[in-house]
Amino acid sequence: MIEHGQGPIVGQTPEMLQLYGFINRLVDMPTNVLITGETGTGKGLVAAALHYNNRNGRGAKPFFTVNCPGIAEGVLESQLFGHAKGSFTGAIKDYKGYFQAAEGGTILLDEIGEMSPHLQAKLLQVIQQRVVFPVGSNTPVPVNVRILAATNRNLEDEMSKGTFRQDLFYRLNAFPLELPPLRARIDDVPLIARYIIERYAQDHGIEVTGISPAAQEKLKLYDWGGNVRDLENVVERAIILRGAGEIQAEDINYDWTSLSQTTETTERRQERTIYDILKETERSCILTALANTKGNKNMAAKRLGISKKSLYDRINRLGLGKKKIVKNSPSDNLADNVSSEGNGSGTLAKVWTFTEITSTYDIPLGSFTGFMQRIGVRKVEKGRYEMDPEQEKTILETYGRRTHLLR
């Protein structure tokens, strides 16, 4: 387990022990590190560990995560490298970008595979010459920043397509760290699940005290396509379902893809008709998909491999709609929250691009991802987020409206 100032990286499998060995060797070096791995494998966590554990003073300096996709190239350029007063309409004073603001610290360039060729060239210059040229300025500013980059894309493919510069790849890839998917370290699943429960108990004062051995075994059956983030969703849902005491196997509801692996006994299955079983499975799949997508029916339908219309039909047929619901089961309440439209007409939620959000609200870039996650905004796809009016209101109240492009 490695502490990083925001929480530990949990895991004791040989794969993780090897990773800790690499991290320990890398923390005190200025080396650029390319962190690769599927979504939810902990790339952000590892980057933070590399920064905060540094013992040469860097760990006490700023650590910024810059989310490359979805930001208009010009805006990202200013945000990274800064700009000079008057360099474009709205540039009312000199602006220090992240590279200057992070002086002495670390920048994580997240989803680096999405960076435009122009910015790739500018980044290469920073790495090679250790200076930045703010937009509209010919005066180089020396910078000392450690660059970490993360991606869940295969950059070798991007290079062969010509969308990622080879010279930049080799500079960033001074040390590659590949994070294994959770299914390749399945023995860590119970450990991480217990950690999630503990953290929940501390943060939210819940009365769930632990997880039964059978439930821990059940967790090991899943293939965890969304990795630790998926595991967090499943365990959080189990915590809510259980309410108090020890999580049991029946509280663990995998999503659609893994329900066939349910540990239900053959005897119990034989007491019911196949139609009962199918109906129950269908119901459970739908509730789980809705819970895992925080009620986003488009995404839930996608996960279930059915059309949105078919999802509505099933919600109605199974009585999961608002009025027909049988109360007192937490899983029913989930459907209650999410299936009120019934007829398939759109919800009040609206899809925004990253740029639309950041040009409307004054959210600091470094806080964007964390804040959006905290208020439950769904990332529909890369750079596109689904927000409801309540969430918009929360952003407005927290950060206010943007009055000018950049400060």
Ligand X SMILES: Nc1ncnc2c1ncn2[C@@H]1O[C@H](COP(=O)(O)OP(=O)(O)OP(=O)(O)O)[C@@H](O)[C@H]1O
Interacting residue ranges for ligand X, rule: CB under 6 A = 7, 9-11, 37, 39-45, 152, 192, 228-229, 232
CA-atom Rg of the chain in angstroms: 24
The string of DSSP codes covering 383-405 is TEEEE-HHHHHHHHHHH-B--SS
- Structure tokens, 153: 């894309």
CB of 31 to ligand X, least distance (A): 20
CB of 40 to ligand X, least distance (A): 5
CB of 312 to ligand X, least distance (A): 29
Q: Which helix (H) or strand (E) holds 216?
A: helix 213-219
CB of 14 to ligand X, least distance (A): 14
CB of 49 to Mg ion, least distance (A): 13
Candidates 40-48, 55-63, 187-195, 251-259 — which segment interacts with Mg ion by CB under 5 A? Answer: 40-48
Q: Which residues contact 293 (CB under 8 A, 6 or more apart)?
A: 299, 300, 303, 378
- Structure tokens, 383: 């750079």
CB of 235 to ligand X, least distance (A): 11
d(CA 297, CA 349): 11
d(CA 201, CA 213): 19
Estimate to the nearest angstrom the gap between the alpha carbon of 152 and the chain centroid.
12
Q: Which is nearer to ligand X, 107 or 285 (CB)?
A: 107
Q: Residue length, the chain?
A: 407
**Which of ligand X, Mg ion, none does 41 bind, CB closer than 5 to 8 A by kind?**
ligand X
Q: Is 69 exposed, middle or buried (0-12, 13-18, 19+ CB in 10 A)?
A: middle
Q: Which is nearer to ligand X, 172 or 311 (CB)?
A: 172
Q: Which helix (H) or strand (E) holds 169?
A: helix 166-172
Q: Which is nearer to ligand X, 41 or 253 (CB)?
A: 41
> How many residues form the binding site for Mg ion (CB under 5 A)?
2
- Structure tokens, 99: 């590279």
CB of 307 to ligand X, least distance (A): 26
Candidates 42-50, 78-86, 97-105, 387-395 — which segment interacts with Mg ion by CB under 5 A? Answer: 42-50
Tell me if 40 contacts Mg ion by CB under 5 A. no
d(CA 201, CA 209): 8
Tell me if 44 contacts Mg ion by CB under 5 A. yes
Q: Are strands 2-3 and 8-9 parallel, antiparallel or unpaired?
A: antiparallel
**Which of ligand X, Mg ion, none does 11 bind, CB closer than 5 to 8 A by kind?**
ligand X
CB of 202 to ligand X, least distance (A): 14
| Nearest residue to 92 via CA among 136, 138, 142, 139 | 136
**Which of ligand X, Mg ion, none does 90 bind, CB closer than 5 to 8 A by kind?**
none
Q: Which is nearer to Mg ion, 123 or 150 (CB)?
A: 150
Candidates 37-45, 171-179, 188-196, 197-205 — which segment interacts with Mg ion by CB under 5 A? Answer: 37-45
E strands, 126-216, are 131-132, 141-142, 146-151, 175-178, 207-211
Q: Which is nearer to ligand X, 91 or 179 (CB)?
A: 179
**Which of Mg ion, ligand X, none does 37 bind, CB closer than 5 to 8 A by kind?**
ligand X
Phi, psi of 210 (to 5 degrees): 175, -160
Q: Are strands 207-211 and 141-142 parallel, antiparallel or unpaired?
A: unpaired
Q: Which is nearer to ligand X, 4 or 283 (CB)?
A: 4
Helix (H, G, I), strand (E, B) or coil at 259: helix
CB of 203 to ligand X, least distance (A): 12
Q: Which is nearer to ligand X, 96 or 220 (CB)?
A: 220
Q: Which is nearer to Mg ion, 44 or 366 (CB)?
A: 44
Contact status, residue 5 vs residue 122, Cβ threshold 8 Å:
no
**Which of Mg ion, ligand X, none does 197 bind, CB closer than 5 to 8 A by kind?**
none
Q: Which is nearer to ligand X, 42 or 321 (CB)?
A: 42
Which residues lie across from 351 on neighbouring strands? 386
CB nearest ligand X: which residue? Answer: 42
Binding site for Mg ion (CB under 5 A): 43-44
